[in-house]
Amino acid sequence: MPGQKLDEIDRMILAQLQADGRMTNVELAKRVGISAPPCLRRVRTLEEQGFIRGYHADVNARELGFEVQVFAMVGLVSQAETDLSAFEQKCKGWPLVRECHMLNGEVDFLLKCVAPDLRTFQNFLTEQLTSADNVASVKTSLVIRGAKDEPGVPFDVLEERLAKDA
């Protein structure tokens, strides 16, 4: 099971950094109960192994003028791997698309998009997304408000599962 190759201190480091990626190494070491030098070595190892993919600020999109958030459900004509990969690459080049997830079921992809206004999103929708190669259908849902937006994973659930398996 993923997570088992990490010891308890590694998992605590990940949980603490997920909650506050700006804390100093000294503060992190104090919170997980080890000294600073081995803590820094562990963080570097977690980064190298891909458990930590990066550090980001949680930016308030609305404060920056991005008033529109939309989820777009995209159906493709072909689900051949080359066509799926081509669509994913296309999404990476569209700045308004902030997340792109391939799904199982009626919809092939779910895109999370942000735009400063409805006109900007509408232009993206009609000029780029719906006219892209292999796109058969697009259904959109405008976000009215968000109730929860938690990054990462629930470490308490991971710890419960590991305790059961021990």
Percent of the chain whose pLDDT exceeds 90: 92
pLDDT at residue 28 in the model: 98
Q: Are residues 10 and 48 in the same domain?
A: yes
CATH number of domain containing 136: 3.30.70.920
Q: Are residues 86 and 109 in the same domain?
A: yes
Task: Classify each residue of 1-21 as buried b or exposed e, where b means 16 or more C-beta atoms within 10 Å of its C-beta.
Answer: eebeebeeebbbbbbbbeeee
Q: Other C-beta atoms within 10 Å of 57: how many? A: 7
Q: What is the pLDDT of residues 74-91, one digit of tens each?
A: 999 999 999 999 999 999
Q: Are residues 51 and 85 in the same domain?
A: no
Note whether residue 116 is domain-resident.
yes
Note whether residue 151 is domain-resident.
no
Q: Other C-beta atoms within 10 Å of 142: how many? A: 10
Higher per-residue pLDDT: 4 or 83: 83
Higher per-residue pLDDT: 5 or 115: 115
Taking the C-alpha atoms of residue 154 and residue 151, their distance in angstroms, rounded to an integer, is 9
Q: Are residues 127 and 80 in the same domain?
A: yes
CATH number of domain containing 4: 1.10.10.10
Q: What is the pLDDT of residues 20-47, one digit of tens each?
A: 999 999 999 999 999 999 999 999 999 9
Q: Are residues 134 and 77 in the same domain?
A: yes
Q: Are residues 109 and 87 in the same domain?
A: yes
C-alpha closest to that of 112 among 120, 56, 121: 121
For the chain, the domain total comes to 2
Please report the beta strands in 4-158, taking only residues with DSSP state E, as ranges in sequence order: 68-76, 97-102, 109-115, 135-142
Per the structure, the complete domain to which residue 37 belongs is given by 1-58
CA-to-CA separations, 120 to 37, 51, 124, 136, 162, in angstroms, rounded: 49, 36, 6, 22, 47
Q: Is the Cβ–Cβ distance between 43 and 101 less than 8 Å?
A: no
Residue 130 has pLDDT above 50, yes or no: yes
Residue 1 has pLDDT above 50, yes or no: no
Note whether residue 157 is domain-resident.
no
C-alpha closest to that of 153 among 42, 1, 48, 51: 51
Q: What is the mean pLDDT of residues 101-108?
A: 96
Residue 135 has pLDDT above 70, yes or no: yes
Q: Are residues 86 and 118 in the same domain?
A: yes
Q: Are residues 100 and 123 in the same domain?
A: yes
pTM of the model: 0.87
Task: Copy the structure tokens of residue 146.
Answer: 């968000």
Amino acid at 147: A
Taking the C-alpha atoms of residue 7 and residue 21, their distance in angstroms, rounded to an integer, is 20
